[in-house]
Structure 1
Amino acid sequence: MKRPKLYVGFLPILFILSGCWDKSELEERGYVVVLGIDKSKEDHMVDVTFQIENPQVGSTSVAMAQNEPPSDIITITATDILSAKELANSIVSREIDLSQLQTIIIGEEFAKSDFLHHIIASSLRDPEVRRKIVMIVSKEEAREFINHNHSRLETRPHKYYAFMSDRWKDTGFVPVSDLNRYLQRTSSALFLAIYATSEREERYRENSDNYKAGQVPQKEGDPVQMIGSAVLKEGKMIGVLTGEETRLALMLREKSLARHYIDTFTDPKKDDFRISVRVLKEARTRVDIDVDKERPEVHVTIPLKVQVLSIPSTIDYAGNEKNQELLKNEIRKNLEEKTASLIKKTQEKYGAEPFVWYEVVRHKFWTMKAFENYDWQDKYRNADVHVDFEITIESFGSQLKPQKIKRSKD
């Protein structure tokens, strides 16, 4: 009899706990999908831009929102992101919600200030701000970037950034950068953030991936370009890497999400032509660092497979082993020279490495204190770095030999 009485005693509690007093309808909330941060003209203030998505546009209820824009964009000047959010609630009819926030855009001018890290770190106190939010640095003000970014294929802004993140992993033109990686690496190494712009500074270059955002020669299409990476050291932007340098930096890491990409190399038999190949990175990069010497020695081995896609010069590489060796040596030499230039740049100009090699060095010490006393980033400036590329030609396409055009005697 005691147990039924106990159940009866819990019944009033169930009535108290059940209910929908705190429910919130979808149309009552304003979900921010893109957030921009810029340096304000006022001291110790920031301009925070909110892009609030309209949940009815692009959904099954699109007929109810035919004349409504896909999103609303407002900019608030405040001391930080959270206070700007509260001020935005005095303007927007719906309750501002950051739980669906996927992308943070940071203006380059603000990224180069000492104020950046404090704003980013303080925003994580809000449980709605997740660490998986993508971090992008824009050449212009973030407010201008957000207002100019109107994709022709994607009506809903969050879909644009979601699809673009998949393309980033395929091409390696930009790093995979989010708030979690930023917080992990900002004090231990250089952090690479996605670099983007809607401004144009077009340049033609022989190598198709040696561009920064805004330099890709484009005639039509979406206004925004995302290629290259912003270099941050101790929470402050100090430089920019091109798309080519970003790819190499990702290759030099033990783990890389960019598994394949297409590149062009000089034809070793006819140097006025270039050969198009698909580069596959299916195995991990091997990194060995000797910390016992006064100048640490770094040995990096990168295994790559190459699929030859196009040979405009029509030289026979598929059936000639000597030509294949020439092609492999040309690819290896090209990659090693570019990698050596990138490493020299990080040592002399930036004074730290973005290759996450500090994780390898950390395993060489028994305690965290011993690793910190070693000061790897300072030692890296004078380190002897040797990089070897193991090139394997996997295929030459569907045909064994390039077809030659037969010309008549006339």
Structure 2
Amino acid sequence: MRRIGWKVGMLFAVLFLAGCGERLELEQQAFVVAIGLDKGEKRNLIDVTFQISNPQVNTSQAAEAQTEPPSDIVTITAPDLLSAKELAQSSLSRKITFSHLKTIIIGEELARDDLFKHVIGSAIIDPEMRREAMMIISKEPAQDFIHQNKPTMETRPHKYYAFMEGNWEHTGYVPLSDLNTFYQRTDGELFLAAYATAQTEPEVQEDDDAYLAGEVPQLSGDPVQMMGSAILQKGRMIGTLDGEETRFSLLLRRKNLIELMTASFPDPTKEEYRLTVVFSRTENTKIRIDTDRSPAKIDVNVPLKMHINSNLSLQDFTRNKDQQKELVEPVEERLEKRAEKLVEKMQEHGGEPFVWYAAARKNFWTMKQFEEYNWEKHFTEADVDINFEIEIYSFGEQIRPPNLKKGETEQE
């Protein structure tokens, strides 16, 4: 019995201690928090930029690292991402790991090239690559974007991208895009990726959301702007959407991830002023698709609740239902026209980012029947009817605006 017990004990020891052979201490690892991908100068080569976090910054050892940068940036030219990862070890003493990687930035030049889908498709072979990693398309080369992105409020780069992604859920200016969704929509559907740039060309517009990254009229602060989205079809970038179009592309989906959306509209009672409102949604968008007729008929109904946030005209909408109706109808018409214009733009591209194909697929018994139907082709010819149903649920904290005497102005 003693011999058997000794052998069993040795067996368990081998099983539990065998996994420690490849153990690495934290100080032996180089944690990549962001990767940049650019088209190389030579054919079928790419420039891979690794942004490696400095673990001593903002820790108990920060006093020892006062003169050290928050991250180290290394660029390697190689055929693919995994080759670049190995080549980078020629200058880095610590072992590179993607275990903390959550951001991948692709330069627009590479994103518009057919080489991109091969590069990003082969990258998933690495088991450390997370499918939930955020995907961003930069107007300039990704290498330049990473070097210029030095936020003053965040010394740790991974926190900056995490906070920015959290902001997108509240504004809707930028889509929530990750690698997993990209891989799912590389067939015929359109995929929207976050669009960003550090090259600013301010352009003042009347609508506060009709901007693309780099156009927001910003006078100071961090140079990087993330606004709008890049359109990818079959793994290649084919165009862009501004912040307003990106919002509509999210609203027209059955399930929207936007919590609140702030926008401004001309005041129907006094056109020289604008009303700022906040939209929220408690119900999913209703999508009905008739694939039995030709062209296909698509009916979309978007329910929204509207909170009046700013009333510069000081018009009292609380007591007059006719004025409330005059307020809601122009907003609904404006939203419907903008949404229909976006759908027409997508029909020209030959695909849709609204995930309407999921609703159309329910009309077929088998996946083969749906594939033979060729949804992308029928969508480009479809008859689309979009309706917004807006309900006012709040007029702001101020229930009734102050009454101005005849001849008295606000400045007085």
Smaller-chain TM-score bracket: over 0.9
Describe the shift of the 1:63–1:14 C-alpha distance in structure 2 as closer, same or farther (beyond 3 A): farther
- Aligned AA for 1:308? I
Where does residue 50 of structure 1 map in the other structure? 50
Which of 8, 11, 14 in structure 2 is aligned with 1:10?
Answer: 8
Kept after mapping to 2: 8 A contact 1:203/1:217: yes
Give 3-state SS (helix, strand or coil) of 1:343's partner: helix
Instruction: Supply the RMSD in Å over aligned alpha carbons.
Output: 1.4
1:105 offset after TM fit, Å?
A: 0.3
Deviates more, 1:234-243 or 1:52-61: 52-61
Separation (CA, whole Å) in 2 of partners of 1:291 and 1:167: 38
Kept after mapping to 2: 8 A contact 1:274/1:311: yes
Kept after mapping to 2: 8 A contact 1:289/1:297: yes
Separation (CA, whole Å) in 2 of partners of 1:181 and 1:394: 35
Alignment of 1:387-398 (within 5 A): 387-398=386-397
1:99 offset after TM fit, Å?
A: 1.3
- Aligned AA for 1:69? P
Where does residue 78 of structure 1 map in the other structure? 78
Where does residue 362 of structure 1 map in the other structure? 361
Separation (CA, whole Å) in 1 of partners of 2:178 and 2:266: 36
Structure 1: tracts of 5 or more residues without a match: none
Matched, 1:180 2:177: no
Matched, 1:294 2:294: yes
Identical positions, percent: 48
Where does residue 375 of structure 1 map in the other structure? 374
- Aligned AA for 1:389? F
- Aligned AA for 1:399? Q
Alignment of 1:239-318 (within 5 A): 239-318=239-318
After superposition, give the CA deviation of every residue in 1:82-114 in whole Å (9 maximum; x if it has no partner): 000000011111111111111000000100000
1:403 offset after TM fit, Å?
A: 1.8
After superposition, give the CA deviation of every residue in 1:351-403 in whole Å (9 maximum; x if it has no partner): 11110111111111111111110010111011000001011000101222112
1:333 offset after TM fit, Å?
A: 0.8
Kept after mapping to 2: 8 A contact 1:259/1:282: no
- Aligned AA for 1:285? T
Kept after mapping to 2: 8 A contact 1:176/1:194: yes
After superposition, give the CA deviation of every residue in 1:179-238 in whole Å (9 maximum; x if it has no partner): 000011121311000000000111000000000000000011111100100000111100
Separation (CA, whole Å) in 2 of partners of 1:112 and 1:340: 27
1:68 offset after TM fit, Å?
A: 1.1
Kept after mapping to 2: 8 A contact 1:34/1:105: yes
Separation (CA, whole Å) in 1 of partners of 2:65 and 2:25: 17
- Aligned AA for 1:394? Y
1:5 offset after TM fit, Å?
A: 5.2
Matched, 1:191 2:167: no
- Aligned AA for 1:373? E
- Aligned AA for 2:88? A
Q: TM-score scaled by structure 2? A: 0.96
Separation (CA, whole Å) in 1 of partners of 2:112 and 2:4: 64
Kept after mapping to 2: 8 A contact 1:185/1:191: yes
Where does residue 170 of structure 1 map in the other structure? 170
Give 3-state SS (helix, strand or coil) of 2:147's partner: helix
Separation (CA, whole Å) in 2 of partners of 1:7 and 1:228: 67
Where has structure 1 moved over 4 Å in runs of 4 or more? 405-408
Kept after mapping to 2: 8 A contact 1:188/1:358: no
